[in-house]
Structure 1
Amino acid sequence: MARQLDEQIAGRFPVGRRLRVLDVGMGRGTQALRLARLGHQVTGMERDAGLIAAARETVAREPEGIRERVRLMQGDGRDTGVHFLPGSFDVVLCHDVLMHVEEPDPVVAGLARVLAPGGLLSLLVRNGDALAMRPGLAGDWPGALAAFDSTAHRPHSGLDLRADRLAALTATLDGIAAPLHAWYGVRVFTDTTADDAAVPDDLQTLLAVEERAGRTDPYRGVAALLHLCGVRG
Structure 2
Amino acid sequence: MRDATRQAVVWEALRAVLSERAAATGRESLDIVDAGGGTGGFAVPLAKLGHVVTVVDPTPDSLAALERRAAETGVGVKGLQGDAADLGDLIAPGSADLVLCHSVLEYVEDPAGALGAVAGVLRPGGVVSVLAANSVAAAVHRSLAGHFDEARRVLSDPDGRWGDRDPTPRRFSRDALTALLGRAGFTVGDVHGVRIFADLVPGMLAEGDPDGLIALEKEAAAHPVLRDIATLLHVLAHR
Q: TM-score, normalised by structure 2?
A: 0.86
Partner of 1:162: 170
Counterpart code for 1:143: E
Counterpart code for 2:41: T
Q: 1:116-143: CA deviations, max 9, x gaps?
A: 0110100101113433111112222122
Query: Residues 47 and 186 of structure 1: is their aligned pair in 2 closer, same or farther, counting only changes over 3 Å?
Result: same
**Larger helix percent:** 2
| 2:52 corresponds to 1:41 | yes
Aligned counterparts of 1:59 and 1:198: Cα–Cα separation in 2: 34
Question: 5+ residue gaps in structure 2?
Answer: 1-9
Q: 1:203-226: CA deviations, max 9, x gaps?
A: 221111111111112100111110
Q: TM-score, normalised by structure 1?
A: 0.88
Query: What's the secondary structure of 1:130's corresponding residue?
Result: helix
The answer on whether the counterparts of 2:151 and 2:162 sit within 8 Å (CA) in structure 1 is no
Q: 1:154-173: CA deviations, max 9, x gaps?
A: 69x96242112322332232
Aligned counterparts of 1:202 and 1:168: Cα–Cα separation in 2: 34
Partner of 1:209: 216
| 2:196 corresponds to 1:185 | no
Partner of 1:23: 34
Runs of at least 4 residues off by over 3 Å: 152-155, 196-199
| 2:27 corresponds to 1:3 | no
The offset of 1:46, in angstroms, is 1.0
Of 103, 106, 111, the residue aligned with 1:99 is 106
Query: Residues 192 and 101 of structure 1: is their aligned pair in 2 closer, same or farther, counting only changes over 3 Å?
Result: farther
Of 132, 150, 154, the residue aligned with 1:125 is 132
Q: 1:157-213: CA deviations, max 9, x gaps?
A: 96242112322332232233321011101111122579x989724222111111111
| 2:226 corresponds to 1:219 | yes
Counterpart code for 1:190: A
Counterpart code for 1:179: T
Query: What's the secondary structure of 1:100's corresponding residue?
Result: coil
Query: What's the secondary structure of 2:125's corresponding residue?
Result: strand
Aligned counterparts of 2:184 and 2:236: Cα–Cα separation in 1: 13
Between the aligned residues of both structures, percent identity stands at 33
Counterpart code for 1:188: I
| 2:89 corresponds to 1:89 | no
Query: What's the secondary structure of 1:153's corresponding residue?
Result: coil
The answer on whether the counterparts of 1:88 and 1:114 sit within 8 Å (CA) in structure 2 is yes
Say which is worse superposed, 163-172 or 86-95, in terms of deviation.
Answer: 163-172
Query: Residues 197 and 80 of structure 1: is their aligned pair in 2 closer, same or farther, counting only changes over 3 Å?
Result: farther
Of 56, 59, 72, the residue aligned with 1:61 is 72
The answer on whether the counterparts of 2:96 and 2:126 sit within 8 Å (CA) in structure 1 is yes
Aligned counterparts of 1:166 and 1:182: Cα–Cα separation in 2: 11
Aligned counterparts of 1:131 and 1:224: Cα–Cα separation in 2: 7
Counterpart code for 1:75: G
Question: 5+ residue gaps in structure 1?
Answer: none
Query: Residues 126 and 86 of structure 1: is their aligned pair in 2 closer, same or farther, counting only changes over 3 Å?
Result: same
